Amino acid sequence: VAVTLKDIAEQAGVHLSTVSRVLNRKRPLQRISERTRLRIIEIANELNYQPNEMARCLRLKRTFTIGLILPDISNSFFSRIARSIEIEAEKNGYTVIICNSAEVPEKEHQLIDLLIQKCIDGLIITPVQRTPEQFEQLRLKNFPFVFMINHYENFKTNAIITDNHGDAFKATQYLIQNDHRRIACIHGRPDLIFNRQRLAGYQDALSAYQFPIIPAFQQECDFSVSSGCQGALTILSQPEPPTALLVTDNLLTIGTLKAVHQLELNVPDDVSIIGFCDDPAVDVFNPPITTISHPLDEIGQQAFALLMRTMHQKNNQDVTKIVLDTKFHLRESTTIWEV
Amino acid sequence: VAVTLKDIAEQAGVHLSTVSRVLNRKRPLQRISERTRLRIIEIANELNYQPNEMARCLRLKRTFTIGLILPDISNSFFSRIARSIEIEAEKNGYTVIICNSAEVPEKEHQLIDLLIQKCIDGLIITPVQRTPEQFEQLRLKNFPFVFMINHYENFKTNAIITDNHGDAFKATQYLIQNDHRRIACIHGRPDLIFNRQRLAGYQDALSAYQFPIIPAFQQECDFSVSSGCQGALTILSQPEPPTALLVTDNLLTIGTLKAVHQLELNVPDDVSIIGFCDDPAVDVFNPPITTISHPLDEIGQQAFALLMRTMHQKNNQDVTKIVLDTKFHLRESTTIWEV
DNA sequence: CTGAAAGCGCTTACAG
DNA sequence: CTGAAAGCGCTTACAG
């Protein structure tokens, strides 16, 4: 049913290769008589010709489509990054296929295969697989990809990340300096390096001040509000609960606030909270949460730009790791002792 | 560089059509000797063969990809619906390309063309174009699509919607019954039918109780937190401000709360608020907002199911409009007079 | 049971 | 300036 080059060619009384040349006006080298050029364009418009990208890409070996694999697009942390990537992609004539790994390594593995079958030109991913094997394969095939947020130790590749250890360290230090002695940490799956680094930052800060690391003060959750709520309830229901919480994830922070309300605790008087939280509503939380906030737009922009560079370079030996700055945003969920 | 059927065929010493038959094991009709079958499969695995979907789809005229065009994926209202659609799509072997129209009609128009060039099998869309012309064209071409959230009057097509007028009417009525007399409405672009219906529901409720409709109590905003904040500031800074606000959008509700905090007003004592808000954090807002809440998962599920039905039916004469129920969720942002 | 061939819709060197 | 042809990687009726 769709209109093809052949249809236009027939109607114009020329060969379809001529039509193709006219419609790919990129090369002004190709001289085509103004008369036929105009006629072809007119007919194409009249018939509302839309080139079949499937055929075009099969020929060109490029799809102008990139893949984006995230843990969960419904988490505003990721959806805002995704939006930023999409804006950049659009500016550059690329389309984005977004997929959710749901933090399931096997699923992520399949999604990568699927996207490659779909002939994406490149991939941006927050990897959740336990080892970088598959990415090693991709690199061997010279397939362009960049990591975002998460990456692997001892596996050098393009990545946009933040200083997770430093951020968690500083946040914990802030709590210590404000006289907290019983500080707990609610964190995500430690096999993801960014979670592990944040947890380590927390632990190292405690150690730096010669405080003990109490296992019962470390609660592992998965990426969800309900899991965060559950984790916080567990932590806060102990006989000697902590006076401060460091929550190292977006949704977990919301879950923690829910738990606190459920227990009818006062924040920050009963318990101080610092969250890794980039919710657009953080200002209207009760109370507004002191956060480590991430430059979401910039993460997306840089990830896309880095992918473009990777796609256009011949060999993928050059590797860039970009560490972006976060902001410590003081709000009302922490007792203010000294600043 | 990629492995093709030809590569496998050569290594197995058979014709590539045989390889294709083996790898498309759908038809058990095709009898192939167990011996060659096994050898081919082994070689395919060894070479890590990934079929080229580009070529496959060009031949088959199906891509197992659907398009999803939303105003803004970074709005959690839409990202949660998108996630639900993606889950259904995955179950059925489909991939989703998500695009953002940013509520710009021309952009939406282009995106639809783009996705069709990419040969999507079907489209789910929250349309923002002012008229349904382009969709009329799609229907003439027998291209399968379904509307979601928004639709057009006098344009019959498949759609998943809610009773916007009824919801806004009931919310306004609730405020009236709780003794509010000065009720304002903060709403989105009225050329989108769902915004118009919500505004009409508000107006009709006032009229039903013989209250005047005050233009200064109606504030139009676009889909963003900052716009909602600005709109609420305008409304509330009047000499005789309203005692209650109906906010007919997700992000606008958050913006309204920001404005209220900025003006240091007490909710609900100074002003009651009812929001069309489906933020996962709504429970931890200050105060938790009374909302009209949408069945986001179900919207996604039904939209996908309806699209599948549309894709598989021969003629697209049968049209289904499904109206899903919302919930009135009473929280603490409204003075409770009577229930 | 398997090969040879056509064709999906496009682009582009090769001629002329 | 324009045509004829090859080919991207796949599927599938048509033979045998």
Judged by phi (left if over 0) then psi (alpha if -120 to 50, else beta), residue A284 lies in: alpha
How far, in Å, CA of A299 to CA of A47, rounded?
Answer: 42
Query: Which of A274, A300, A278 lies closest to A287, judged by CA?
Result: A274
Question: What confidence score (pLDDT) does residue B337 get?
Answer: 58
Query: Cβ–Cβ of A286/B287 closer than 8 Å?
Result: yes
Burial (CB count <10 Å: 0-12, 13-18, 19+), residue A45: exposed
How far, in Å, CA of B203 to CA of B171, rounded?
Answer: 11
CA atoms in the 13 A half-sphere facing the CB of A59: 7
Give, to the nearest 10 degrees, the angle between helix A164-177 and helix A193-208.
30
B241 pLDDT more than 50: yes
Give A117-151 as a DSSP string: HTT-SEEEE----SSSHHHHHHHHTT--EEEES--
How far, in Å, CA of B12 to CA of B306, rounded?
Answer: 44
Distance from CA of B195 to the nearest CA of A (A): 22
Does residue A130 belong to the interface with chain B, where contact is any CB pair within 8 Å? no
CA of B17 to C1' of C6 (A): 13
Q: Establish, for the pair of chains A and B, how many residue pairs have beta carbons separated by less than 8 Å.
A: 140
Strands A145-148 and A183-187: unpaired
Strands A321-324 and B321-324: unpaired
Residues 6+ apart with CB under 8 A from A187: A195, A198, A199, A202, A218, A219, A220, A221, A247, A248, A249, A252
Q: Name the band, by pLDDT with cuts 50, 70 and 90, for residue B339.
A: very low
- Name the residue facing A54 among B58, B83, B258 (closest C-beta): B58
Q: Which backbone phi and psi does A218 adopt, to 5 degrees?
A: -120, 120
Q: Name the band, by pLDDT with cuts 50, 70 and 90, for residue B313.
A: confident
Cα-trace Rg, chain A: 26
Enter the tokens of residue A125: 């991913």
Cβ count within 10 A of residue B330: 14
Query: Cβ–Cβ of A58/B53 closer than 8 Å?
Result: no
Residues 6+ apart with CB under 8 A from A135: A127, A129, A145, A152, A155, A157
How far, in Å, CA of A256 to CA of A80, rounded?
Answer: 22
A338 pLDDT more than 80: no
Distance from CA of A303 to the nearest CA of B (A): 17
Query: Which of A85, A67, A11, A65 lies closest to A42, judged by CA?
Result: A11
How far, in Å, CA of B229 to CA of B221, rounded?
Answer: 9
**pLDDT-wise least confident of A31-45, B119-133, B144-158, B242-256:** A31-45
Segment A147-166 shows an average pLDDT of 96
Scan residues 90-119 of A and list those with Cβ closer than 8 Å to B: 95-100, 113-114, 116-119
Q: Which backbone phi and psi does B275 adopt, to 5 degrees?
A: -120, 145
Query: Which of A6, A108, A9, A17 lies closest to A67, judged by CA?
Result: A108
Enter the tokens of residue A33: 């008589």
Asked if the peptide bond before residue A132 counts as cis, ω within 30 degrees of 0, the response is no
Residues paired with residue A272 on neighbouring β-strands, in sequence order? A244
How far, in Å, CA of A166 to CA of A314, rounded?
Answer: 35
Segment B30-35 shows an average pLDDT of 75
Strands A290-293 and A327-329: antiparallel
How far, in Å, CA of A220 to CA of A187, rounded?
Answer: 5
Q: Does the C-beta of B55 come within 7 A of strand C?
A: yes
Question: Of all residues in chain A, what percent carry a pLDDT higher than 90?
Answer: 80
B287 pLDDT more than 80: yes
Q: Name the band, by pLDDT with cuts 50, 70 and 90, for residue B318.
A: confident
Query: Cβ–Cβ of B118/A53 closer than 8 Å?
Result: yes
How far, in Å, CA of A45 to CA of B77, rounded?
Answer: 38
CA of A56 to C1' of D8 (A): 9
B315 pLDDT more than 90: no
Q: Name the band, by pLDDT with cuts 50, 70 and 90, for residue B127.
A: very high
Are the CB atoms for B335 and B269 separated by under 8 Å? yes
Four-residue CA torsion sign, B184, B188, B189, B193: negative
Segment B246-259 shows an average pLDDT of 96
Question: Of all residues in chain A, what percent carry a pLDDT higher than 70?
Answer: 96
Cα-trace Rg, chain B: 26
Question: What confidence score (pLDDT) does residue A339 get?
Answer: 45
How far, in Å, CA of A151 to CA of A169, rounded?
Answer: 19
Burial (CB count <10 Å: 0-12, 13-18, 19+), residue B232: buried
Segment A159-172 shows an average pLDDT of 97
B-chain residues within 8 Å CB-CB of A116?
50
B-chain residues within 8 Å CB-CB of A79?
73-76, 79
Are the CB atoms for A201 and A166 separated by under 8 Å? yes
Question: What confidence score (pLDDT) does residue A22 get?
Answer: 87
CA of A337 to C1' of C12 (A): 72
Question: What confidence score (pLDDT) does residue A69 get?
Answer: 97
- Tens digit of pLDDT for each residue in B7-31? 999 888 889 888 888 887 665 556 6
Q: Which backbone phi and psi does A8 adopt, to 5 degrees?
A: -65, -45
Question: Of all residues in chain B, what percent carry a pLDDT higher than 90?
Answer: 80
Query: Cβ–Cβ of B119/A53 closer than 8 Å?
Result: yes
- Tens digit of pLDDT for each residue in A10-58? 888 889 888 888 887 665 556 778 888 888 889 999 998 989 999 999 9
Q: What b/e sequence results for B289-315 when a residue is b if at least 16 CB atoms lie within 10 Å of its CB, and e otherwise?
A: bbbbbbbbbebbbbbbebbbebbeeee
Q: What b/e sequence results for B174-188 when a residue is b if at least 16 CB atoms lie within 10 Å of its CB, and e otherwise?
A: bbbebebeebbbbbb
Question: What confidence score (pLDDT) does residue A84 get?
Answer: 98
Enter the tokens of residue B50: 């990934």
How far, in Å, CA of B269 to CA of B34, rounded?
Answer: 79
Q: Give long-range contacts, CB 8 A cutoff, 24+ apart: A3-7.
A: A3/A47, A3/A48, A3/A49, A3/A50, A4/A49, A4/A52, A5/A49, A7/A47, A7/A49
Distance from CA of B211 to the nearest CA of A (A): 32
Segment B291-307 shows an average pLDDT of 97
**Minimum CA–CA partner of A61 in chain B:** B54
Scan residues 180-239 of B and list those with Cβ closer than 8 Å to A: 225
**pLDDT-wise least confident of B57-61, B148-152, B211-215:** B57-61
Residues 6+ apart with CB under 8 A from B144: B121, B122, B123, B307, B310, B311, B316
B33 pLDDT more than 90: no
CA of A60 to C1' of D12 (A): 25
How far, in Å, CA of A153 to CA of A134, rounded?
Answer: 15
Are the CB atoms for A144 and A296 separated by under 8 Å? no
- Tens digit of pLDDT for each residue in A221-262? 988 999 999 999 999 999 999 999 999 999 999 999 999 999
Enter the tokens of residue A161: 């990340």
Distance from CA of A152 to the nearest CA of B (A): 24
How far, in Å, CA of B26 to CA of B36, rounded?
Answer: 17
**Amino acid, res. A222:** D
Question: What confidence score (pLDDT) does residue B30 get?
Answer: 61
- Tens digit of pLDDT for each residue in A300-319? 999 999 999 999 887 667 89
pTM over 0.85, yes/no: yes
Query: Cβ–Cβ of B261/A251 closer than 8 Å?
Result: no
- Name the residue facing A79 among B48, B58, B79 (closest C-beta): B79
Residues 6+ apart with CB under 8 A from B4: B49, B52
B-chain residues within 8 Å CB-CB of A80?
74
